[in-house]
């Protein structure tokens, strides 16, 4: 039974989903202090948060059983993603669930700022009738600059085009072709700042975007422009924005998000040319329902291991069909584990080569699996597909990935060369029928071995009688052979055997095998 803690308020539709899950139990406890959260978190397999809970590195460390952190919403700046990744915890969000709500809020703020809606309302409510003080501007034929042209930015563009606005967008990760298809001109940030009558922010919060609206960028803006922020408060240097509003460089700002929420001693509060809303971007009935149901479904699927959609810290592209990807990740893990057993020292370098139309699209998840297999027996930290690449980097393991032309012998082939101080080894594997893993190469030896269960990997001189002697010893100790696969470099040269066993042999068995004169090395591996 999975235990899930919901530490912020979540829509009833999501709770209804959880009530139907026979393999999960949840507790919803909003408003916990950090200390209270850390005290109970060790009990839970998953944590679902909104924006109030701060899942810091310290908090995550307390979650000793934690496998998943689900953020109901798009932004994950309240979750220490790196700390979660190091601990092998999946972090996921719901990027599409509140996109329409946020886009509509941006448009609403733009209209309100253009027509002084909030100020006019307050004036009339106070018993005044001052129409001449609230002369507005039209959106028609104005230039809108959109910073961040992802899902929400594109929704805003589509709606602004209905008002007859010209759209500029800045996003270094979006091609000009995408802009052309959507009727939007992609420009650099300097040009957007200089040409836009309105600027709306829809970029993610990252080190390079924090306080991107500052004294310098404000000075580059068209005098008298209007600024909208319904994305993240930390995108703006609030003191610099306040100064720009006071000196007239910025005519009006419409702000839904703040550096600190609720805002305290905020220089924007009280300025007459600022419209404020209390972080309402996702606050629609529809968005609250969709966010709740989506994050619940995602967390349950992740706990069950069936899907990891919208995970933000996967070491490979999200959106891959996990059911199809998983067998190749598991093959990579078996190759890595085999490498770990066979290496005669700490691994320093890993070179991965994939051949075939299927595996060339899966090189990153295969690499994650391979590193997981290499690391899980060699370091003290818990290793999984999420944290393996980062842990490999921290442990000084360099990784090279190569996509090559299709193999003549196999439809899809994964080859991995591992180097340690003073040695190296090459392994290759494939999936038979797309589902059954096979080891098809160990260094220069060709074979067809099944990497499963207890395996004796044996190197010996290719002379008569070896197989009989090994079989006799295993029989004497009542260890049954399930499969025996062998490859050799040449007749009378060296041979390598991959012997699958039905049970684990004791140390005395290995000692007896090592006394056979023709055997140069034998290792027991549990795959």
Per residue in 82-124, pLDDT (tens digit) is 899 889 899 999 988 889 999 999 999 999 999 999 999 999 9
Q: Is residue 71 part of a domain?
A: yes
Q: How many domains does the chain have?
A: 4
Per residue in 248-266, pLDDT (tens digit) is 999 999 999 999 999 999 9
Q: Verify whether residue 141 is a known catalytic residue.
A: no
Question: Are 75 and 140 part of one and the same domain?
Answer: no
> What pLDDT does residue 54 have?
95
Please answer whether residues 91 and 314 qualify as being in contact, where contact means their C-beta atoms are separated by less than 8 angstroms.
no
Question: Are 374 and 341 part of one and the same domain?
Answer: yes
Question: Are 248 and 118 part of one and the same domain?
Answer: yes
The Cα–Cα gap between 42 and 65 comes to 6
Question: Are 255 and 400 part of one and the same domain?
Answer: no
Q: Is residue 337 part of a domain?
A: yes
Residue range of the domain that includes 477: 452-527
Question: Are 514 and 406 part of one and the same domain?
Answer: no
pLDDT at 408 over 70: no
Give the model's confidence band at 309: pLDDT under 50 very low, under 70 low, under 90 confident, else very high: confident
* For residue 41, cis peptide bond before it (omega within 30 degrees of 0): no
Q: Is residue 251 part of a domain?
A: yes
Q: Is residue 310 part of a domain?
A: no
Share of the chain above pLDDT 70, in %: 98
The Cα–Cα gap between 441 and 444 comes to 7
Choosing from 116, 232, 438, 485, the catalytic residue is: 232
Choosing from 159, 279, 289, 348, the catalytic residue is: 279
**Residue whose tokens read 């004497």:** 476
The Cα–Cα gap between 76 and 56 comes to 11
Question: Are 140 and 260 part of one and the same domain?
Answer: yes
Choosing from 36, 43, 128, 261, the catalytic residue is: 261
Question: Are 113 and 251 part of one and the same domain?
Answer: yes
Q: Is residue 353 part of a domain?
A: yes
Report the CATH number that the domain containing residue 401 is assigned in CATH: 3.30.1330.90
- Which strand ranges, in their side-by-side order, compose the sheet holding 274-276? 185-186, 166-170, 143-147, 198-201, 225-229, 250-255, 274-276
Report the 3 state secondary structure along 58-121: HHHHHCCCCCEEEECCCCCCCECHHHHHHCCCEEECCCCCCHHHHHHHHHHHHHHHHHCHHHHH
Question: Are 222 and 337 part of one and the same domain?
Answer: no
Report the CATH number that the domain containing residue 522 is assigned in CATH: 3.30.70.260
Q: Is residue 282 part of a domain?
A: no
pLDDT at 320 over 70: no
Report the CATH number that the domain containing residue 69 is assigned in CATH: 3.40.50.720
Give the model's confidence band at 390: pLDDT under 50 very low, under 70 low, under 90 confident, else very high: confident
Q: Is residue 146 part of a domain?
A: yes
> What pLDDT does residue 412 have?
87
Question: Are 332 and 251 part of one and the same domain?
Answer: no
pTM for this one? 0.67
According to DSSP, residue 43 is labeled G
Find the mean pLDDT for residues 154-178.
94
Say which residue, 226 or 88, is predicted with more confidence.
226
pLDDT at 434 over 80: no
> Cα dihedral sign for 142, 143, 147, 149?
positive
Angstrom CA distances, 250 to 134, 241, 483, stand at 17, 8, 76
Q: Is residue 368 part of a domain?
A: yes
Q: Verify whether residue 361 is a known catalytic residue.
A: no
Q: Among candidates 100, 101, 120, 124, which has minimal Cα distance to 112?
A: 120
Question: Are 480 and 425 part of one and the same domain?
Answer: no
> What pLDDT does residue 318 have?
57
Q: Verify whether residue 131 is a known catalytic residue.
A: no
19: Cβ–Cβ under 8 A, 6 or more apart, which residues? none
Per residue in 359-380, pLDDT (tens digit) is 888 898 899 999 999 988 777 6
Question: Are 399 and 488 part of one and the same domain?
Answer: no
Question: Are 137 and 264 part of one and the same domain?
Answer: yes
């Amino acid at each position: 039974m999975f235990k899930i803690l919901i530490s912020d308020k979540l829509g009833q539709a999501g709770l209804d989903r959880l009530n139907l899950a026979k393999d999960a139990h949840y507790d919803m406890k909003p408003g916990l202090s950090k200390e209270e959260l850390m005290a109970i978190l060790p009990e839970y397999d998953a944590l679902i948060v909104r924006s109030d809970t701060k899942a810091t590195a310290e908090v995550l460390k307390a979650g000793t059983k934690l496998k998943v952190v689900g953020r109901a919403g798009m932004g994950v700046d309240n979750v220490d993603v790196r700390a979660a990744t190091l601990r092998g915890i999946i972090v996921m969000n719901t990027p599409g669930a509140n996109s329409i709500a946020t886009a509509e809020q941006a448009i609403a703020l733009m209209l309100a700022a253009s027509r002084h809606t909030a100020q006019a309302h307050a004036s009339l409510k106070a018993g005044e009738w001052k129409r001449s003080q609230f002369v507005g501007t039209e959106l028609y034929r104005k230039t809108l600059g959109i910073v961040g042209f992802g899902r929400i930015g594109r929704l805003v563009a589509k709606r602004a085009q209905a008002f007859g606005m010209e759209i500029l967008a800045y996003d270094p990760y979006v091609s000009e072709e995408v802009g052309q298809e959507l009727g939007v001109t992609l420009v650099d940030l300097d040009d957007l700042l200089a040409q836009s009558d309105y600027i709306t922010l829809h970029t993610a919060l990252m080190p390079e975007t924090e306080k991107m609206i500052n004294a310098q960028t404000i000075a580059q803006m068209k005098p008298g422009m209007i600024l909208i922020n319904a994305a993240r408060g930390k995108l703006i240097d609030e003191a610099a924005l306040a100064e720009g509003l006071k000196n007239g460089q910025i005519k009006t700002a419409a702000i839904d998000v703040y550096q600190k929420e609720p805002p305290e001693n905020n220089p924007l509060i009280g300025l007459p040319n600022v419209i404020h809303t209390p972080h309402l971007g996702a606050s629609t009935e529809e968005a609250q329902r969709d966010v709740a149901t989506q994050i619940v479904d995602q967390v349950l699927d992740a706990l069950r291991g069936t899907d990891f959609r919208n995970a933000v810290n996967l070491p490979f592209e999200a959106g891959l069909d996990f059911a199809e990807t998983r067998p190749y990740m598991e093959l990579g893990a078996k190759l890595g584990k085999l490498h770990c057993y066979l290496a005669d020292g700490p691994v320093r370098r890993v070179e991965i080569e994939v051949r075939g139309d299927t595996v060339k699209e899966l090189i990153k998840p295969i690499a994650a699996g391979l590193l997981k297999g290499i690391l899980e027996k060699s370091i003290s930290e818990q290793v999984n597909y999420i944290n393996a690449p980062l842990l490999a980097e921290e442990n000084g393991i360099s990784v090279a990935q190569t996509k090559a032309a299709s193999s003549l012998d196999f439809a899809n082939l994964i080859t991995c060369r591992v180097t340690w101080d003073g040695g190296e080894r090459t392994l290759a594997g494939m999936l038979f029928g797309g589902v059954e893993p096979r080891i098809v190469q160990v260094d220069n030896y060709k074979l067809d071995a099944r990497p499963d269960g207890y395996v004796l990997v044996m190197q010996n001189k290719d002379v008569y009688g070896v197989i009989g002697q090994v079989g006799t010893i295993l029989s004497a100790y009542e260890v049954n052979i399930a499969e025996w696969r062998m490859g050799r470099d040449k007749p009378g040269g060296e041979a390598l055997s991959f012997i699958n066993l039905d049970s684990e042999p004791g140390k005395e068995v290995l000692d007896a095998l090592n006394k056979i004169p023709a055997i140069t090395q034998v290792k027991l591996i549990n795959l």
